[in-house]
Amino acid sequence: MKLHNIAINNLRRRKAKMVFLVSGLMIGVAAIVALITTIRILSEDIAHKMDEFGANIVITPKSEGLSLNYGGINLGGVSFDLREISESDLDKIETIKNAANVRIISPKVFGIFEHQGQKALALGVDFPAELSLKRWWKITGEKPSGIGQIVVGHEAAERFQLKPGSQVRILDKDFQVSGVLESTGSQDDQLFFMPLTVAQKLFDKEGKIAMAEVAALCHNCPIGEIVTQISEKIPAAKVTALQQVVASRMDALHNFQKFSLMVAALILLVGSMVVFVTMMGSVNERTREIGIFSAIGFRKSHIMKIILLEALIVSVASGVIGYLVGIGATRVAMPFFTEHVSHFSLDPLVAVGAVFLAIVIGLTASLYPATAASKMDPSEALRTL
Amino acid sequence: MSYIQAVNVVKEFGTGDSRVTAVRGIDLSIGQAEFISIMGESGAGKSTFLSMLGGLLQPTSGRILIGDVDIYGLKSDKRADFRREFMGFIFQSFQLVPYLNVLENVQLPLAVTHHTEKQKRELAVSALERVGLQDKALRLPNQLSGGEQERVAIARAVVNEPPILFADEPTGNLDSRNSNEVMNLLKRLNSEGQTIIMVTHSRANSSFAHRTVEVSDGQLSATSEAASQFTVSRQAAGAGA
């Protein structure tokens, strides 16, 4: 017979109380686990979705001059130093430390040509990457499926009266317009989009690119580090982060996390109160028993140990069950929030955290009841002596 | 020679106008291996006095000496240790812990001692044998009769062989047959050398004691002594020592 036997026997033989106590704390832990797991999955989902809305890093050749261009308006005066970077350099991006965060690399090459007596700009793109990067594009007609097909921007199509199926001659080569972009409000409206390899050959820029747009998943990575890593790998390139895009994405995520933390803190508080009230009730209910312990020679610390041991056992059980229930609830509920349930995985850190949290809450909430129990006047507690 | 000594013990409850004096300056000396009975009307202050003798309730003034130790001069934890080593308590209504079986209840005072688990078990079994309940060791208190529960309470009180036993109305919830059994058991323990201080309403129970003191309105009002029994018991204790 040791003190822990008393604690264990009390819990074992008072099953209803044990179940009630475990349930009270378990619900709190489960709610927090569910919330944290949901936050993590939704944050990843949000980050994933937000990253679908365009590039956040631009790679261009290094230039000595300044481009006098603002908001798409060229102010002239300084010649644009149109250098190129090697297409093979882009492969080096896959070797950077944060390569896993790089989702899309869309290389581009420019070429100027004349059509119907007017100059126009052709943009060679890797269509699968470009379409993946620009999810907002809406194409009237078909997406290009062969090397002889191009997509024309809304304004360019209007100016040259082109529509899906029209034929266009660019530098003595005939192309079929497979689709026309609906107005995007960007420079894309004025461009002719053609396959990258075709453009490189047509404008004599094989193996070279003028720029590349990169979409990096930056939920858990500092975009600045990725920029530095790419710059180190491609010294000839100027790598720029679109800070505004990045900042707005991170702000949205942080706001979501702040809100979730507030909800978690509230649940934590309610959980603590449940444990406190239950433990206090348990101590009051056991007044006589505590009086006996005291009378037969248990020290205050012995009585505290019994109460805190019970709290510890309840807390560990609540933590483990709460974690499993929380994960289960998230698993059941997640398909209603996102289609990215494949991201779902058991996080050992959350498991350890849940048990640790339950122990901290359980012991903290039981500290006052345990102290109150240890300070009970034995004769008062027994009321018979 | 006094083994337990109450010196002008006073106990007051409450403050100001609501102050009540439960014990008004009791002086009492109890010898080693003496069996003393404290009687009195309800509310006379006998249980309060017993609590103070047992180190459970701090007197407002006065001293309780056990041997040469002023028990209220000890700090709370030391007093708990003292109770564990030198005192056993038999409470009214048995006061067994409902979720512990008989053996565990008896072992309770040993839970914080340095005995090995084997020693604790042997001591508990031995105590149960003394009260004749060794065959009910694994039962829960609610599976026992009132008399059996009281005997478990006695086994718990004597398991660590304390020299002093305090009993508060030990037969208060028992019928006459069980009462008699319990009183004979206390008598036997006393004859083995234990000092017993018992609070009771019953004259019949009181007759088992060497000496009866009556408490009235917080004061000792009368003392009656069964000298022959006391002498025999003390001689037996002395022979055993």
As a whole-number percent, the residues of chain A with pLDDT over 70 amount to 84
State how far the Cα of B170 lies from the Cα of B151, in Å rounded to an integer. 10
Q: Which residue among A1, A6, A297 sits closest to B81, beta carbon to beta carbon?
A: A297
pLDDT of residue A345: 67
User: What ipTM was estimated for this complex?
Assistant: 0.86
Banded model confidence at residue B231, pLDDT cuts 50, 70, 90: very low
**pLDDT tens readout for residues A38-88:** 777 776 776 666 655 556 788 888 766 555 555 555 544 444 455 678 888
Taking contacts as CB-CB distances below 8 angstroms, the residues of chain A near B115 are none
As a whole-number percent, the residues of chain B with pLDDT over 70 amount to 93
Taking contacts as CB-CB distances below 8 angstroms, the residues of chain A near B169 are 384
Banded model confidence at residue A359, pLDDT cuts 50, 70, 90: very high
User: Which tops the pLDDT comparison, A86 or A257?
Assistant: A86
Tokens at A37, concatenated: 């797991």
Q: What's the rounded mean pLDDT across residues B86-113?
A: 90
C-beta atoms of A1 and B120 within 8 A: yes
As a whole-number percent, the residues of chain A with pLDDT over 90 amount to 22
Could you write out the DSSP letters of every residue in B6-36? Answer: EEEEEEEES-GGG-EEEEEEEEEEEETT-EE
What strands, in cross-sheet order, belong to the sheet with B211-216? Answer: B87-90, B164-168, B195-199, B35-40, B211-216, B219-225
C-beta atoms of A384 and B168 within 8 A: yes
**pLDDT tens readout for residues B103-151:** 999 999 999 998 999 999 999 999 999 888 889 999 999 999 888 998 8
State how far the Cα of A31 lies from the Cα of A331, in Å rounded to an integer. 13
**pLDDT tens readout for residues B19-37:** 889 999 999 999 999 999 9
Q: What's the rounded mean pLDDT across residues B62-80?
A: 93
Å between B197 CA and nearest CA of chain A: 12
pLDDT of residue B135: 92
Q: A257-291: b or e for each residue (b if 16 or more CB lie within 10 Å)?
A: eeebeeebeebbeebbebbbebbbebbeebebbbb
**pLDDT tens readout for residues A136-189:** 889 999 988 888 899 999 999 999 999 999 999 888 889 999 999 999 888 889
State how far the Cα of B126 lies from the Cα of B9, in Å rounded to an integer. 37
Å between A17 CA and nearest CA of chain B: 12
Task: Decide if pLDDT at A202 tops 50.
Answer: yes
pLDDT of residue A250: 65
**pLDDT tens readout for residues A290-299:** 888 988 899 9
pLDDT of residue A53: 58
pLDDT of residue B228: 42
Task: Decide if pLDDT at A335 tops 90.
Answer: no
Q: Where would I find the H helices in A234-337?
A: 243-285, 287-295, 300-337
C-beta atoms of A292 and B83 within 8 A: no
Q: Would you list which residues of chain A are within 8 Å, Cβ to Cβ, of chain B? A: 1-3, 5-6, 9-10, 12-14, 288-289, 291-302, 377-379, 382, 384-385
Banded model confidence at residue B170, pLDDT cuts 50, 70, 90: confident
**pLDDT tens readout for residues A11-35:** 887 788 788 888 878 888 888 888 7
